[in-house]
Structure 1
């Protein structure tokens, strides 16, 4: 299961350190290169909820496998276009959209699958989710190093490597994932829509707060990574694999925090809320200083590492809140909406940063810190940290 978010993360984050190379080789602008990340994410945003519904109706594995195959095909299209065509940009985007479609039906379905496998054990669920989120974040650590190494050999090799990694994950899913059979009668679309609407009506405050935090942290993460990729090369004169290793430093802290948090939360709502509040405070403060330290490499890495630590603590906590507090029949759908919200942040981060960092760098990061403070208020008011009749856990249970 952990191979799937790893592959999907490599499929996106691996391209960030080589975007300046694409800009030079393909002859496009910084904003256009940001579309290589954004096109992948936009395709995922709209299709993830559909994939979630299909996985609830037809089974998790039946959705995951075709999605991984789609990702493999998308990588081949982008790679061959870059290799053989004089003006490959359009076909690169086509390949990236196909990969985004594949991502929509692969990584987000893992969250409800974990809930299915460990439905009666919150501790095992939290631990497994922590491992999977760590795999996701470990992919982010590996991504800049692998991407830079592949691009140093052939600038378009990262596209082909995504197809190779997708093939490995396909084989692992076929042979090693034994998804529990869904013995329930498939839910009709009208009933499904009514139930989904009812969930949002009854539990919408805490669910939308989780969605908002998910979108925010991914917006900050990918905007910061895009900024770092550009500044490490143009301001600090770091290139190739060395740049990849430096870019991986904040992501390593993210990975460590994600692993530790996943092991510690164990379904404890009170602890989850405290982690969310503390992480949002540290993240909001740290991100506000990124622009001011942009020309001092060691300070820049220190500040962005604090951002990474905060995001790493938040991600498994958000996963656990969604997975452990929604009933199985609707788990795929709600977790897919959550994944879509995260992809909104991924899609918006690079193009926003490509436009704003030229003239409004400090203001952009200060604004991100202020936004984090506003979102912190939503967490304080709408995420309940105890088992009461208003807590997510209690609200997820049917009334007696």
Structure 2
């Protein structure tokens, strides 16, 4: 990483996507107990996730636009108090003295607003603060935090069931406070006053020019991010459904098994970030090889849906997607100027988050016909691979798409 930046800075930046993940995923294993203790219906339990997800999805692009206009640090320090305030309000709403479901929903909306606003900041900050190989390593570490959040969320939720689910809000508050302190005291501020006065139509014209010029990179990267998250979390729902059928699968064991593909994603993201070079060929190689592993994993599950085969397939899928993500992030940072990074990464993060949100919903419908679910998934992942190949007129790998190297 850049020697001018302290090593621990990436930890505080990495907490931003980590908080977004645990802010929703940690509550999934807690919902049955919350429904019982709060005496709410299954639909109301689902609303506890939806009331977080919808505001988060809406505020992801807004957070990116505002960070381009007013600065990453300013947006982070404004959004994180929403999460902390929402966590405190949720603790009050679920206390024995006052149990208010309506107030709990308001608290979850506040948490979603804050989480959505900080989601695009991590990748934009890495793009601003690091260059070349150091940037690639930092992107790998960001995906490690992202993946780690997905790995530990079900485990944290399962462990909290042994004590009290109300501690989940304390955990969320603690991580948000740590990120706030770290960013406030250690993140260098960078505010461009002239940028804040820029007309919206000028920014829109530059973004349109960017998409017209770089669509061969943007289209496959955005599609891979959205479809990859959609399939990953859809398959995780399917795996949790299969684990419920096993008599020996306690909540702790279920959490550990659900963490397997996410752990594979985390480790492969870290390894890929270290091996990437600041060259177009390196990014293409990572995205194509990762997509190939994803295709192979689903192809294998078409022929057998035994639990062991599904676990092996999802491990391979997670590893392949873990190669795609840092490669795509590094390529995206290289082709987008600093003035548009917040907005472009916000749009990219929003597509990935929508994949996370809709994957479990649709796979819950498709699980009635597992064979058709596997074929549909195979079509989606093959489409990603074909987009990579067809969008780059410069294939085979080794031939540059442009007369100059990516930064």
Counterpart position of 1:114: 126
Tell me the CA shift for residue 149 of structure 1: 0.4
**What does residue 103 of structure 1 align with?**
115
Aligned to 1:192: 203
Displacement after TM superposition at 1:218 (Å): 0.9
Distance between the aligned counterparts of 2:16 and 2:255, measured in 1?
22
1:348-399, CA deviations, whole angstroms, 9 ceiling, x for partnerless residues? 1122223332x123322321111110121111122456543388949xxxxx
Q: CA deviation at 1:335?
A: 1.0
| Residue 367 of structure 1, aligned match among 366, 372, 376 | 376
What's the CA shift for 1:291?
7.6
- State which drifts further: 261-270 or 71-80: 71-80
Residue of structure 2 equivalent to 1:324: 334
Residue deviations 1:146-168, cap 9 Å, x none? 11101221134323321221112
Q: Distance in 2 between matches of 1:15 and 1:235?
A: 22
**Unpaired stretches in structure 1, ≥5 consecutive residues:** 395-400
**Cross-structure match for 2:6:** none
2:187 is equivalent to residue 177 of structure 1: yes
1:241 correspondence with 2:252: yes
2:74 is aligned to: 62
Distance 1:181 1:388 in 2: 34
How many pairs does the alignment contain? 388
Gaps of 5+ in 2: 1-12
Structure 2 distance, partners of 1:3, 1:93, is: 24
| CA RMSD across the alignment | 2.7
Determine the C-alpha separation between the residues in 1 that align with 2:121 and 2:27. Answer: 23
Q: CA deviation at 1:243?
A: 2.3
SS of structure 1 residue aligned to 2:162: helix
Distance 1:205 1:388, change over 3 A: closer
> Are 1:338 and 2:351 counterparts?
no
- Are residue 251 (structure 1) and residue 262 (structure 2) matched? yes
Q: TM-score of the superposition, structure 1-length normalised?
A: 0.87
TM-score, structure 2 length as denominator?
A: 0.86
Given that 1:117 and 1:180 are in contact with CA atoms closer than 8 Å, whether structure 2 keeps it comes out as no
The 4+ residue runs of structure 1 with deviation greater than 6 A are none
Aligned to 2:278, what secondary structure does the other structure show?
coil
Q: Aligned partners of 1:216 and 1:300: how far apart in 2?
A: 19
CA distance, structure 1, for counterparts of residue 63 and residue 204 of structure 2: 14
**Distance in 1 separating the partners of 2:246 and 2:308:** 13
Where do residues 120-159 of structure 1 align in structure 2 (5 Å cutoff)? 121-159=131-169
1:8 and 1:165 map into 2 onto residues whose CA distance is 10
Other-structure match for 1:225: 236
Equivalent pair of 1:130/1:262 in contact (CA under 8 Å): yes
**Distance (whole Å) between structure 1 residues aligned to residue 279 and residue 141 of structure 2:** 17
Which whole-Å CA distance do the structure 2 matches of 1:290 and 1:137 have between them?
A: 23
Matches within 5 A, 1:41-52: 41-52=53-64
Q: Structure 1 residues 278, 190: closer, same or farther in 2, change over 3 A?
A: same
